Structures are given as structure tokens and as C-alpha cells.
Amino acid sequence: MADVAASVALPDVRAMGERDIATLAQAGLSAWQEAIAPFIPPAVVDRVVQENPFLDFLVEAQDQVLVATLDGLAVGFGATEYGDDYISDLWIDPVHTGQGCGQALLAALMSRIAGRGFATARLEVMTQNRRARRIYERFGFGVARRLRRYDPLLDLDIDKVAMFCPIRRPRQGAASLAGMR
């Protein structure tokens, strides 16, 4: 009997549509509960879980949101909420972490930022969110500074790490040469 290798789905990235909002709001909330909630007062966690602010965010920032999918299933999202060089959000449903979705979203967001003419991408991450920080560092982000910033959604001051990553642009002519092969 022949061995059959298990097929592993690779993530795809696409623009978000209205049909994705409910699924992604739940994925974002689940990721937030795993990564951020342990460091937040329980009363604030309860309020965030009840309100699920990801719903409003996804509706308002829809044009700036990219979706990671596995076998067609929306499992996470990333956003440049302000349409500039700042990555405001990156959330992957915890059931689907470790499958390359975060890396795929980061690459797509970086491409989007480069297309806007920026040479560097920026983001901020909660200091205690070590897993996210490691993902960003592996991608090439470096620490710019540590800061304490008021988060109006949580109504709390949060310790964060501001990070940046230079955008590597293809060499001049590389794209046209690749098309000739």
C-alpha cells in the first residue's frame, strides 16, 4: 500500500467582503481573548466579549482589511486601518495559528504599503503579547521604542512596543526579466 502524504492547505489572502464580517469578528475576538485578555482586568474583558468591537471595526475599515483563508474558510485578517504605512490589526483564529496565515497576511499588507509609496511599515503590539512580537521579528520588524498608550476601546493605559520594518523592493528590471523566462 502506498503512503499518501497529507495535503496541507496553504493560506490565501484576499480582500474582505461583507460576507466575511461575522466570521472574522468572531476570529478576531477569539484571538484577542487568547493573546490580550489574560493581561486585562476581568470587567474589561467581559465588556469587550459582550460588545465584540471587531464587528464595528470590520464594517468601518472594510476597504483596508485583507483576509487569510485556508481551503476557502476565512480564518483571520490584517488591516491598515488608516490607509497608510501603519498595520493596525493582525488577528488569526487560534484554531488556525501556526499555519502561515499571519506571515501571508503580513506579506500582503507589506505589499499594499509598498504600493502606497512607503519605504517602511509600522505597527504597535502589546508588550506582553510575546507570540505576536516573535512573529513580527521573524518577518523582519525591529523595535523602535517602548511606550505606554491609552487605549480608548479598553479605557486603559497599555504598555506597547512600536515596531518597524523596511520594505524590500524588487531590483529595477527584476519583474520584467522574470516575465521573459
What are the mean pLDDT values of the chain's consecutive 10-residue runs (181 residues total)?
54 96 98 97 97 97 97 96 96 95 96 96 96 94 97 95 88 42 29
Whether 1 maps to a domain, the answer reads: no
Q: Could you give the C-alpha distances from 174 to 42, 134, 169, in angstroms and in order?
A: 53, 31, 10
Please give the pLDDT value at position 170: 55
Please give the pLDDT value at position 172: 53
Whether 36 maps to a domain, the answer reads: yes
Please give the pLDDT value at position 7: 55
Please give the pLDDT value at position 44: 97
Whether 16 maps to a domain, the answer reads: yes
Please tell me the total count of domains within the chain. 1
Q: Could you give the C-alpha distances from 103 to 13, 65, 137, 176, in angstroms and in order?
A: 10, 15, 11, 26
Instruction: Read off the CATH number of the domain in which 45 is found.
Output: 3.40.630.30
Please give the pLDDT value at position 8: 63
Whether 60 maps to a domain, the answer reads: yes
Domain that holds residue 43: 12-169
Question: CA end-to-end span of the chain, whole Å?
Answer: 40
Whether 27 maps to a domain, the answer reads: yes
Beta strands in 12-131 (DSSP E): 12-15, 65-70, 73-79, 86-87, 89-92, 120-126
Residue 82 DSSP label: T
Please give the pLDDT value at position 106: 96
Its pTM stands at 0.87
Please give the pLDDT value at position 93: 97
Please give the pLDDT value at position 9: 75
Please give the pLDDT value at position 145: 97
Q: Could you give the C-alpha distances from 156 to 34, 91, 98, 176, in angstroms and in order?
A: 18, 21, 30, 50
